[in-house]
Structure 1
Amino acid sequence: MKMTSNSFDHNGVRNFVFRQENDFQSLSKSTRPRGRRIDEKACVFKFGLEMELPCLVVLGAIVVLGHVVGSNGCFPEEKRALLDFKASYANETLLPSWLNYTDSNCCEWQGVSCLTSSSRVTGLSLWNFTRNWHSDFENHCYQYHRLNWSLFLPFKELRTLILSANCFDGFIQKEGTL
């Protein structure tokens, strides 16, 4: 298969013709090519004034990026932050779906929501995950925890954070941006 550029349309956009090597011949307006004529709108992605990328390059990049990023369903830095958050508690029975396996998809973990298109963590809904909150006690908590807020910094798309009824103590520090 050979790509040849043989003409420009009235807007100055190059038309591409894909043909078999043995079908190569000069083209005129009255001669229909024996190969496939691919419309440039279907084959070329245009970015800006003069920059064009053929479909195969763009599709290849999408496949590679999808394989690298989407192979375990979430970004490594976000997965690490979630595992560090879990490890900050000495109780291994908390958040049992949060496992540190290579093929473990943090977007499928309990209480974690991700954006489908990018696999970025967008929400953490961890109401009473520590099981320290009890309605039968006057103060409802029998053990308090200090929360390291810097663990949430790797989440670039985090929009929802529900940590109610987990008996956290202390203040949100002014360092970083949350």
Structure 2
Amino acid sequence: MAEVLLYHHIQGLTDGVRAFAEDLRRAGHTVHTPDLFDGGTFASIDEGFAFAEAAGIDELRVRGTAAADGLSPDLVYAGLSFGVMIAQQLAQTKPGARGALLMHSCIPVAEFGQSWPPDVPVQIHGMRDDEFFDEDLPASRELAGSAPAAELYVYPGDRHLFTDSSLGAFDEDAAALLLERVHSFLAGL
């Protein structure tokens, strides 16, 4: 079983993010879900961004990377949208990373100053017509093409946070397929 450090999206540690983590726990994985917004959840992406900007994106990134301190070094770093920024940074730069799950987003590999580690498998997931993921698709394709153990999954649809069962963007079929792929990824580590 894997130990996963799962970072929430821009609307906070919602009930849907907690449900996603619980699904992984039921499969026997240990899942940590740090709350970078100190209990704050937001009704919209815009409200979440306003909070993040007021709190300071760099401060939230520091908080997020600090959440890995004291945990096993062989973590699977997972992020949902906003959380990808931290998960990808740690998976790419912290020795011992066991894998990465990047959902709804992907940052250009060059952002973190080094190439993707060849021994760190990664899955990238997003919807084809999601306006936010569309911006990240070139970085997703670059990472998928440069890492030996990388998989890119692009789902039909235009919803951004389609894995969060507590939001209107939830897509039950796409979320179920994503979870099936995530379970397979974790079981293969």
Query: What's the TM-score, normalizing by structure 2?
Result: 0.21
| Bigger Cα Rg | 1
Higher relative contact order at CA 8 Å, sep ≥6: structure 1 or structure 2?
A: 2
Higher strand share: 1
TM-score (norm 1): 0.22
More helix by share: 2
